[in-house]
Chains A and B, each alone.
Chain A
Amino acid sequence: MTNLELQKMANEVRKGILTAVHSAKAGHPGGSLSAADIYTYLYFEEMNIDPKNPNKEDRDRFVLSKGHTAPGLYSTLANRGYFPVEDLKTLRKLGSYLQGHPCIHIPGVDMSSGSLGQGISAAVGMALGAKVQGKGNRVYCLVGDGEAEEGQVWEAAMFAGHRKLDNLCVILDYNGLQIDGKLEEVCSAEPFADKFKAFRFHVIEINAHDFDEIRAAFKEARETKCQPTVIIAHSVKGKGVSFMENNCGWHGKAPNDEEYAIAMADLEKVGEALCQK
């Protein structure tokens, strides 16, 4: 896909996030929106997947370690054709398959996750399993910057570096905010780059909303041998919705009807501008 096509799709993914969270009257829009461009690139460009055959043996895997941003993943999967976009409105409702946090039984979801720190370990296991069985697939894992306060993230990084798992690509969604405020004020795990380097990762830093940089980073990750890669993706929490941007109050809160209308109008405007290009 061209960058313009990716931008348009990411805008649709953002609309789906808002619609899902608004309908659920709960959920996590901020971190879903900050990672929307990454999700879009992974599922529309980077990964070897088949929405018609979600469990195909040789597919690349994705683990959403920051599982609370499930609306971002679900909206991407729906837009990619794993299930109807309309189903996003059932998010978090009793009887819906779209659980509050990712569940392995949802089409396209490779691992149940959401208890922070755990997804990355599973991703490391998937990468190890692929390696020892001589399978060529890659494993991608999205980790939150706040999530990196969990010790298990670094246990997983230690193992991945030790085992030289070059089929593993971790993406750190670095939006700088967590529930209680700015990382710098809560309990920052910075410096991230130095830490991952110390655990023998190849480190790439990018703007999480620039598809040229995203594209180049994933290419570089694919070409990196004998060590895992982390892409530290500097992002804006709430990206795309004016009143949500850089506001930790929108970490885990749904917009009311009025706010939803404003948010969707923001995104419609972006969409129209992209169509003019």
Chain B
Amino acid sequence: MSEVVKIATRESYGNALKELGAEFPNLVVLDADLAAATKTGVFKKAYPDRFFDCGIAECNMMGIAAGLATTGLIPFASSFAMFAAGRAYEQVRNSIGYPHLNVKIGATHAGITVGEDGATHQCNEDLALMRTIPGMVVMCPSDDVEAKAAVRAAIEYEGPVYIRFGRAAVPVINDRPDYKFEMGKGVLLKEGKDVTIVATGICVDSALQAAEMLKADGIDAEVINIHTIKPLDEDIIVKSATKTGKVVTVEEHSVIGGLGSAVCDALCAKHPVPVKKLGMQDVFGESGSASALVEKYHLDGKGVYADIKEFLK
């Protein structure tokens, strides 16, 4: 068996910015003293004149990004999810969302896979916060391939976009010749008839692993990758729920307000079925290695499998 390639999506972010910098001369990047961690340093090295370090002042950075956007530039404002979506929430809402400016927010170190830094830096609420802003596109790519595609899609789209990236290296799962990224479209990764697993971000891989384990038990799970939380591809979810009658959502995020809530919103309105929301169950994270945390909070393949088995009992 060939070794699985693992890349952190924050690496993909930095690499994509650098690659696309040549194609889009009006692309500029901002950071708040975390360029080495968010990987925007890769862009900075290639295009020093188009990189603006705002210092440790994320709220101001969002406002500066807004001002830059009014001059025709395409700014990517970068920080950890905790500070981009959390600390600067109101700046993102009022200075970027309300005027509907062409600002892209690249938020890295999202979720519990931040690891050892612990709860203060593990943002499990960003998808919920960003979803509430009218007109904001919210994306959460699952691997290197998808992360790079999401950055390009954000540039090609006119308007505010939030993209969530992770710190930990994760398996590349979309490396196939026919892979196509379409903002706002879910991806059917595996067909099944007994239960639908809707996953986002790094949990897509866990969902695929869980589906394999369920197969051994004679349970045929359908797996859908939702890389765009907003606008949500309701059709693919409703269609699948109509077939299976049961839905499980999996996200490295609070079960309040993120993918699970978005899926429930859609199903409540269009095709109510029982839904089990897997994710952070209204708790803060804690220090530990990314893999230990993912295991503890049942976001790895085994944990997702166990929770789905419980749900299907």
Chain B interface extent, by class: 20 to 34
Per a CB cutoff under 8 Å, which of A114, A115, A124, A135 touches B67?
A124
Residues 154-169 (chain A) with a chain B CB within 8 angstroms:
155-156, 158-159, 162-163
Asked whether, in the complex, the Cβ of B94 is within 8 Å of the Cβ of A125, the reply is no
Asked whether, in the complex, the Cβ of B71 is within 8 Å of the Cβ of A126, the reply is yes
Asked whether, in the complex, the Cβ of B71 is within 8 Å of the Cβ of A133, the reply is yes
Q: How far is the CA of A151 from the CA of B58 in the complex (A)?
A: 12
Q: Does B173 contact A (CB under 8 A)?
A: no
User: Most B CB atoms within 10 A — which of A61, A103, A124, A129?
Assistant: A129
Residues 61-104 (chain B) with a chain A CB within 8 angstroms:
61-73, 75, 90-91, 94-95, 98-99
Name A156's closest neighbour in chain B (CB-CB): B60
Per a CB cutoff under 8 Å, which of A114, A122, A130 touches B63?
A122
The verdict on A125 contacting B99 (CB below 8 Å), with A118-B91, A130-B71 known, is no
Asked whether, in the complex, the Cβ of A121 is within 8 Å of the Cβ of B71, the reply is no
Binds A, one of B47-55, B138-146, B218-226, B305-313: B47-55
The verdict on A128 contacting B59 (CB below 8 Å), with A112-B98, A118-B91, A133-B73 known, is no
Asked whether, in the complex, the Cβ of A121 is within 8 Å of the Cβ of B70, the reply is no
Q: Report whether over half of chain A's contact residues are helix, strand or loop; otherwise say mixed.
A: helix
User: Most B CB atoms within 10 A — which of A110, A112, A127, A162?
Assistant: A112
Chain B interface (Cβ < 8 Å from any Cβ of A): 28, 49-50, 52, 54-55, 57, 59-73, 75, 90-91, 94-95, 98-99
A199 nearest CB across to chain B (Å): 12
Could you pull out 6 A-B pairs where Cβ atoms are within 8 angstroms?
A121-B95, A126-B71, A129-B71, A132-B49, A135-B71, A158-B60
Q: How far is the CA of A44 from the CA of B75 in the complex (A)?
A: 33
Q: Does A111 contact B (CB under 8 A)?
A: yes
Name A135's closest neighbour in chain B (CB-CB): B71
Q: How far is the CA of A265 from the CA of B64 in the complex (A)?
A: 43
Q: Report whether over half of chain B's contact residues are helix, strand or loop; otherwise say mixed.
A: helix
Q: How far is the CA of A112 from the CA of B91 in the complex (A)?
A: 11
The verdict on A128 contacting B64 (CB below 8 Å), with A121-B59, A152-B59, A155-B57 known, is yes
Residues 106-148 (chain A) with a chain B CB within 8 angstroms:
110-115, 117-130, 132-133, 135
Asked whether, in the complex, the Cβ of A152 is within 8 Å of the Cβ of B72, the reply is no
Asked whether, in the complex, the Cβ of B70 is within 8 Å of the Cβ of A110, the reply is yes
User: Most A CB atoms within 10 A — which of B55, B67, B71?
Assistant: B67
Asked whether, in the complex, the Cβ of B94 is within 8 Å of the Cβ of A121, the reply is no
Asked whether, in the complex, the Cβ of B68 is within 8 Å of the Cβ of A155, the reply is no
Q: How far is the CA of A111 from the CA of B90 in the complex (A)?
A: 16
Q: How far is the CA of A17 from the CA of B61 in the complex (A)?
A: 33
Residues of A within 8 A of B52 (CB): 128, 163
Residues of A within 8 A of B95 (CB): 111-113, 115, 118, 121-122
Asked whether, in the complex, the Cβ of B62 is within 8 Å of the Cβ of A121, the reply is yes
Residues of B within 8 A of A110 (CB): 70
User: Most B CB atoms within 10 A — which of A115, A117, A121?
Assistant: A121
A176 nearest CB across to chain B (Å): 26
Asked whether, in the complex, the Cβ of A159 is within 8 Å of the Cβ of B73, the reply is no
A144 nearest CB across to chain B (Å): 16
Q: Does A274 contact B (CB under 8 A)?
A: no
Q: How far is the CA of A128 from the CA of B91 in the complex (A)?
A: 18
The verdict on A132 contacting B28 (CB below 8 Å), with A112-B99, A115-B94, A122-B95 known, is yes
